[in-house]
């Protein structure tokens, strides 16, 4: 149905064209004044703007001061090398065009200002790497990695016996492995990094050719900006920060009563955890306000400052535009010269198969047909496909302008979430001609099922984004599986368990088979779309310990057991089932915030909070679940598939820049070619550009 929110009588009174809701191809692509509406600066009073600026300076000054201190220390090091006073030192100005970006050749992180460049070649080294090399403990520039997986065939995916190595060599696999389980390559390890030492006078030689340098020059201190720029900005920021008296956003908000207890009857609070001796088991869960109130923003900031997720409900209530995938596909239907189809007569996309975590080519019309009707493998096991970033975020606004505008205007707390003009969104403060990071919007289309299969679930694995994000559930579609498929699913689950028993004998314990009760926590989860688990920042070390202890129990590409961990979260190879979440709480006392995102819910995820998502339909209020080994098997009488369309946009809030910087360091020390490094946001660069904008 093209207009699910309009009755026949309403259409007879005023047609979709007159309402501005027409879903024909031409109208879906019509720009009109829509783009201007979201590109124009938000209407904020001058006094409020000034207060926002001071608020940002207050939060960002410590980061700028740290940058200034690091540069001062490096100048002192350079002065000692040259045997002169710091006051007599002149740092060579190299400059960098506003539409260019320089990266450290060793750790591949963006260079903000000071760096060391070779006197003989183009090799460049960031200050952090310089400091580590002086301390003889370089952390960045880890060995290059490559992906290596063993494809044991289709039968193995469904619990069968793997074929012999000879048989595997004869088989071919047409799908691309894109998982993040990686192994070290020996191609670039001829000279160990430990051999790269400073000279007697403290100077750093250019590394040998096999490490990207020339091996004969010396790395000299240089700057991207005019010398003294950072120090001058730091002094100006200090004056502003010291003269600003921010409102205490850490005080108790209206969610608490007079004795500091959560008001459990407050409809704007959602119970998401059952931690003992904790006052953060409830999440802020307001309904969208039209027009938004300033007090709502301050309430949001109180929770956001603490690193808590926020869920805003009913953000699509005022919408009349359909997000049905077939309607979206109509707007995207192109000629063979399309920038999307790239010359293909039939539009094809690369979708992720959640069973073996490989990409598979599928016609977009067929993909959306299965989205609405469901699809199974030949053995009747539900097929779970995911499509990420389609249409591509750089073409979303161009090809679906009305959907783009509707999504942006529906976002709550526009000061943060608006990717065009959010005043408190540091990511939009970049100069107009500078290189822009891809902050979205990104579209995620995925099939789902209400029960946890344990293998092949439609999930987004545990990961940690490099920036804040808001994710909105825009559309859902329900599909009921056939009785034959239900029976086959239960049979295949038993095969999976037997396969695990064979492969993990040392972990098998017959006493693990038991029954547990799965409760909904008092919230009606019927007709919901996505199950979220978000972990607190302070729980990350214990979460990592658990994953390192149990990593062999998890499967990744081609359903192979995880054999090696480079970073338990950034590898994005783990999804914690209900069984693993219980073990995590039992062994380490860690429990995530768990909630279901309904249609029209906007989930704000703070940077630094690892999270995972599973698409589902609904749970009854009480389910009896059998757990055997580490997989869960549900004794449900029916399965309902639930496909979802989610759209997300990234942003960088001033409250979380410090956490962004910390994560940048984690990504910096990942091995080269690690999948996670490709998606990192250079927050330091954004942050510094913000200060340049203020300065000018």
Give the tens place of pLDDT for each residue, 74-87: 999 999 999 999 98
Q: Where are the domains of the chain?
A: 54-143+188-241, 312-671
Q: What is the pLDDT of residue 80?
A: 92
Measured between alpha carbons, how far is 692 from 234 in angstroms, rounded to an integer? 11
598 vs 696, which has greater pLDDT? 598
Overall average pLDDT of the 611-618 stretch? 78
Which of 19-33, 53-67, 98-112, 172-186 is predicted least confidently?
172-186
Query: Which whole number is the average pLDDT over 622-632?
Result: 33
Pairing of strands 176-177, 358-363: antiparallel
Q: Is the pLDDT at 604 greater than 90, yes or no? A: yes
Report yes or no: 678 and 145 within 8 Å, Cβ to Cβ: no
pTM: 0.85
Residues 577, 643: Cα–Cα separation, whole Å: 20
Give me the mean pLDDT over the 552-574 stretch. 89
Q: In the chain, count H helices and then E strands.
A: 20, 25
User: Among positive and negative, which fits the CA dihedral 685, 686, 692, 696?
Assistant: positive
pLDDT at 602: 96
Residue 255 pLDDT: 74
What pLDDT shows up at residue 680? 59
* Residues 596, 528 contacting (CB under 8 angstroms): yes
What is the structure's pLDDT at 98?
67
- Determine the pLDDT at residue 476: 85
User: Residues 447-473: pLDDT tens digits?
Assistant: 877 677 777 788 899 999 989 999 999
Q: What mean pLDDT comes out for the span 566-580?
A: 92
Task: Write down the residue that tokens 């580590």 correspond to.
Answer: 132
Architecture of domain 312-671: Sandwich (2.60)
Q: Are 106 and 125 in contact, with CB atoms under 8 Å apart? A: yes
Question: Is residue 607 predicted with pLDDT exceeding 90?
Answer: yes
What are the residue ranges of helices labelled H in 510-613? Answer: 540-550, 578-588
3-state secondary structure of 603: strand
Per-residue pLDDT of 646-683, as tens digits, reads 999 999 999 999 999 899 888 888 888 787 776 555 66
* 574 vs 11, residue with greater confidence: 574
Reference 451, options 646, 585, 637, 629; nearest CA is 637
For residue 166, is pLDDT > 70?
A: no
Alpha helices in 115-221 (DSSP H): 127-134, 154-157, 165-170
Residue carrying structure tokens 């389609």: 390
| Greater pLDDT, 374 or 411 | 411
- On average, the pLDDT of the chain sits at 78
Q: So what's the pLDDT on residue 573?
A: 92
Q: Phi then psi for 345, rounded to 5 degrees?
A: -65, -40
State residue 617's pLDDT score.
52
Cα(252)–Cα(241) distance, integer angstroms: 24
- Helix 683-695 to helix 657-668 angle (10° resolution) is 140
pLDDT of 124: 94
**For residue 520, what pLDDT is reported?**
42
Residue 603, pLDDT above cutoff 90: yes
Q: How far is CA 304 from CA 145, 250, 366, 413, 605, in A?
A: 36, 10, 41, 12, 9
pLDDT at 182 over 50: no
536 in Cβ contact with 606 (< 8 Å)? no
pLDDT recorded at residue 635? 40
Percent of the chain scoring above 70 in pLDDT: 72
pLDDT at 342 over 70: no
CA distance 51 to 243: 12
């Amino acid at each position: 149905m093209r207009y699910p929110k309009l009755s026949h009588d309403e259409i007879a009174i005023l047609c979709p064209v007159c309402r501005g809701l027409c879903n024909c191809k031409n109208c879906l692509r019509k720009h009109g004044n829509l783009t201007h509406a979201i590109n124009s600066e938000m209407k904020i009073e001058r006094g409020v703007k000034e207060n926002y600026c001071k608020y940002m300076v207050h939060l960002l000054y410590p980061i700028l001061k740290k940058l200034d201190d690091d540069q001062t220390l490096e100048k002192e090091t350079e002065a000692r090398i040259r045997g002169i006073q710091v006051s007599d030192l002149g740092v060579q100005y190299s400059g960098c065009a506003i539409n260019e970006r320089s990266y450290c050749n060793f750790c591949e992180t963006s260079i903000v200002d000071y760096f060391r460049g070779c006197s003989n070649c183009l090799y460049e080294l960031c200050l952090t790497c310089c400091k580590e090399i002086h301390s003889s403990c370089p952390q960045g520039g880890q060995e290059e990695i490559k992906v290596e997986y063993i494809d044991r065939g289709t039968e193995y995916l469904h619990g069968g016996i793997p074929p012999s190595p000879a048989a595997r060599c004869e088989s071919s696999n047409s799908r691309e492995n894109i998982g993040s389980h990686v192994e070290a390559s020996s191609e670039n390890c001829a000279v160990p990094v430990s051999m790269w030492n400073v000279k007697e006078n403290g100077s750093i030689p250019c590394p040998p050719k096999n490490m990207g340098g020339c091996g004969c020059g010396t790395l000299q201190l240089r700057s991207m900006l005019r010398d003294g720029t950072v120090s001058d900005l730091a002094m100006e920021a200090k004056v502003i920060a010291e003269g600003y008296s921010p409102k205490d956003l850490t005080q108790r908000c209206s969610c608490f009563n007079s004795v500091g207890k959560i008001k459990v009857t407050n409809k704007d609070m959602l119970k998401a955890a059952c931690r003992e001796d904790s006052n953060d088991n409830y999440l802020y869960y307001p309904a969208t306000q039209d027009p938004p109130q300033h007090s709502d923003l301050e309430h949001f900031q109180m929770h956001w400052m603490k690193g808590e997720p926020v869920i805003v409900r009913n953000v699509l209530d005022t919408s009349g535009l359909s997000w049905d995938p077939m309607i979206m596909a109509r707007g995207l239907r192109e000629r063979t010269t399309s920038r999307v189809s790239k010359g293909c007569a039939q539009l094809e996309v690369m979708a992720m198969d959640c069973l073996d975590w490989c990409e598979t080519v599928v016609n977009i019309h067929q993909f959306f047909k299965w989205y609405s009707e469901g699809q199974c493998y030949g053995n009747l096991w539900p097929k779970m496909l995911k499509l990420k970033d389609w249409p591509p975020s750089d073409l979303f606004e161009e090809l679906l302008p009305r959907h783009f505008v509707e999504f942006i205007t529906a976002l709550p707390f526009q000061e943060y979430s608006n990717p065009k003009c959010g005043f408190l969104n540091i990511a939009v403060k970049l100069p107009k001609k500078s290189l822009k990071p891809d902050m979205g919007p990104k579209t995620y289309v995925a099939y789902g099922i209400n029960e946890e299969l344990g293998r092949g679930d439609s999930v987004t694995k545990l990961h940690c984004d490099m920036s804040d994000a808001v994710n909105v559930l825009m559309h859902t579609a329900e599909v009921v599986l056939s009785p034959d498929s239900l029976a086959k699913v239960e049979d295949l689950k038993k095969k999976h368990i037997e396969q695990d028993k064979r492969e993990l004998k040392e972990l098998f314990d017959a006493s693990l088979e038991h029954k547990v009760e799965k409760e909904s926590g008092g919230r009606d989860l019927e007709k919901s779309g996505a199950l979220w688990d978000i972990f607190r920042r302070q729980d990350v070390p214990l979460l990592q310990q658990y994953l390192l202890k149990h990593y062999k129990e998890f499967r990744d590409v081609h359903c192979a057991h995880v054999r090696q961990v480079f970073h338990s979260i950034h590898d994005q190879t783990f999804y914690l089932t209900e069984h693993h979440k219980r073990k995590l709480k039992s062994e380490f006392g860690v429990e995530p915030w768990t909630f279901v995102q309904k249609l029209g819910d906007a989930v704000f995820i703070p940077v630094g909070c690892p999270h995972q998502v599973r698409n589902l339909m609904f749970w009854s209020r009480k389910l009896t679940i059998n757990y055997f080994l580490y997989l869960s098997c549900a004794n449900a009488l029916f399965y309902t598939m639930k496909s979802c369309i989610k759209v997300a946009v990234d942003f960088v809030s001033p409250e979380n820049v410090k956490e962004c910087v910390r994560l940048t360091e984690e990504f910096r020390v990942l091995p080269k070619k690690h999948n996670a490094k490709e998606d990192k946001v250079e927050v330091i660069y954004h942050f510094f550009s913000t200060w340049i904008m203020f300065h000018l």
